[in-house]
Structure 1
Amino acid sequence: MLDELLRLVEKGIYLYPVKAENKQPLTAHGFKDATTDAEQIRKWFGSGAAVGVAINLEKSGLVCIDVDNNHGGDNTNGTHELSELTKMHPDLHPNHCEYIEATQNSGIHMFYKRPQQDIKKKKLGSSIEVLVDSVVIAPTSNYKAIKGDIWDVTNYLPKWIYNSSETSFNIPKGTKIFYGQKTRLAKGLELLIYPEAVGNRHNALISFIGALFYAGTDIEVIKYLVYEAADKMNFPEIEVDNMMSWAMTRAAQQIQKD
């Protein structure tokens, strides 16, 4: 293991030790203590103990996309989310990534060269996250390189990831934000980013239309959102027209009834 680590730091990869079982840093300042100094690496990792290896991504000029498969269920399965995401962004497909590791929880880490601008940690899905500070890597136990070498990464992180608008909340100090149970409307809005497959798209779009009407959304906004979602799913426009006509008829009948 020590020989592997010495080769990593020789190639410009900044490392520091963590507890293998829970990833807690074993230095006072965590990833800020990461180094390429061979003598320090020998002190940290030369005892033969089961110590985890972590990388300072920023100093190493890298970014990691963490795909987590440990949550269970299709709605939180990283592999499923990645498959759907690559339909809209083919440049994120693992085939285009030069270095990939398998993680201890059956997920993967995909490494890219860091862009020449400030980037922040970011969620791409419920089980996909862009890590920018640090991450545990092989040869830590249960982590394994499955494609390429980390020091050979030349492909930059896809621009659409860090050029898109920040998803942040402007809230009063002390206010807490938390997720509640996902509603029909929330599921419908997700169609704009995570389109349903052909077999499920009809019911998903009908449900979205109904949820928008139920929420009291302006009709022009409903049309815009529904046709945008339909376009993402390659849904035939004539079928969307029929759905909207049906929904507006039902809405008019309800208004008359009330």
Structure 2
Amino acid sequence: MKEFATLDKAIELAQQGYAVYPLIENTKKPPKGVAGYQAATSDQNTIFAWFKKHPTYNLGLRLDLSDLLVVDIDMHDPTKNGRTSLAQLFKQGQTLPNDTYIECTANGGVHYFLKYAGAKVRKIDVWPGIDLLSDFTVIAPSEINGKQYKPLDSRTLADIKPAPQWLVDKLAGQKVNWTSEHAYTTRQKKYTGHLLDEMVTGTTQGNRNAWLTKIAGRMFGVGADPKTVYNMLSVINDSFVDPALPSKEVNVIFQSILKRESKGVH
């Protein structure tokens, strides 16, 4: 990636009215002092200050302020192949517009960008290997492990098409009527239910390490497999910790709790 390519792109997006923010080089994590996507801005002076000092930073795009949705097709796990899930949806007539803005991600996945004015969502594995994001995303020309996010066919954000109605309906159908559910959850909620509620509530800077340590211990406490605990910690950190901890710190927390659990200490 050429020097200042990210700055050039960030300024270009800001001029088009999009809010962007920096991510540490080779990661999806915001730098210290930047509150993740909540710090995203289209102010060119702020953007210049971020990337002039760190030209190799990656670039994040805030989606909700621009009514955008990203359909993230991942292939991290052989049992959750997003391309297979997408093909199955296509067979059912649930297609995505091929002429919208699409990026190839650093890990071999695909991001479909769509116009979507619904409530902010970040839903993981809606179908195996397919996430739906309308809060924030990494965007080109970001780079992970030497592999770059790249637009397909030199398309731009001006090419973004509306989300198809079946997808809008899918998102709308996942809303919960909290009022009608309140009596049931109050009466039936068990330990695991409280744990899930606490995970989604998340935490902020100043309490992140202790909070994630507690969450990891509780997941082990309800009998979760170590691999499940590790994967969930990563998802919780990325989605509900503001700002997210570096992945190496999450790994240290996991290894610490795993070592404690292997000794039979609860």
Q: Which category describes the TM-score, using the shorter chain as reference length?
A: 0.5 to 0.7
1:42 and 2:48 correspond: yes
Q: Identify which range, 100-109 or 158-167, moves more after superposition.
A: 158-167
TM-score, structure 2 normalization? 0.59
Inter-partner Cα distance in structure 1 for 2:120 and 2:90: 21
* Equivalent of 1:79 in 71, 78, 83: 83
* Equivalent of 1:64 in 62, 70, 76: 70
1:10 and 2:15 correspond: yes
Letter in 2 for 1:145: P
Tell me: higher relative CO, structure 1 or 2? Use CA pairs within 8 A at least 6 residues apart.
2
Question: CA offsets per residue over residues 96-145 of structure 1, 9 Å max, x none?
Answer: x5100011110011111122x32422232121010121110001121111
Residue number in structure 1 paired with 2:243: none
Residue number in structure 2 paired with 1:109: 111
Give the deviation of 1:58 after TM superposition. Answer: 0.5
Q: Which runs of 5+ in 1 are unaligned?
A: 182-258
Give the deviation of 1:43 after TM superposition. Answer: 0.7
Residue number in structure 2 paired with 1:25: 30
CA radius of gyration, larger in: 1
Q: What is the aligned length?
A: 176
Question: CA offsets per residue over residues 190-248 of structure 1, 9 Å max, x none?
Answer: xxxxxxxxxxxxxxxxxxxxxxxxxxxxxxxxxxxxxxxxxxxxxxxxxxxxxxxxxxx
Letter in 2 for 1:90: Q
Distance change >3 Å, CA 119–CA 41, structure 1 → 2: closer
Distance change >3 Å, CA 144–CA 5, structure 1 → 2: same
Letter in 1 for 2:37: F
Inter-partner Cα distance in structure 2 for 1:10 and 1:104: 26
Distance change >3 Å, CA 29–CA 173, structure 1 → 2: farther
* 1:237-248 aligned within 5 A: none
Letter in 1 for 2:25: A
Inter-partner Cα distance in structure 1 for 2:157 and 2:39: 20
Q: Which runs of 5+ in 2 are unaligned?
A: 197-218, 226-266
Residue number in structure 1 paired with 2:119: 118
1:149 and 2:145 correspond: no
Q: Secondary structure at the match of 2:22?
A: strand
Give the deviation of 1:11 after TM superposition. Answer: 0.9
* Equivalent of 1:165 in 157, 165, 174: 174
* Equivalent of 2:133 in 128, 131, 134: 131
Distance change >3 Å, CA 88–CA 174, structure 1 → 2: same
Inter-partner Cα distance in structure 2 for 1:56 and 1:7: 15
Q: Secondary structure at the match of 2:121?
A: coil
CA contact (8 A) 2:20 2:62 kept: yes
Give the deviation of 1:5 after TM superposition. Answer: 1.8
- Structure 1 segments, 4+ long, off by >3 Å, are 165-171, 176-181
Inter-partner Cα distance in structure 1 for 2:44 and 2:92: 43
Letter in 2 for 1:121: R
Q: Secondary structure at the match of 1:106?
A: coil
CA contact (8 A) 2:101 2:161 kept: no
Give the deviation of 1:164 after TM superposition. Answer: 2.1
TM-score, structure 1 normalization? 0.60
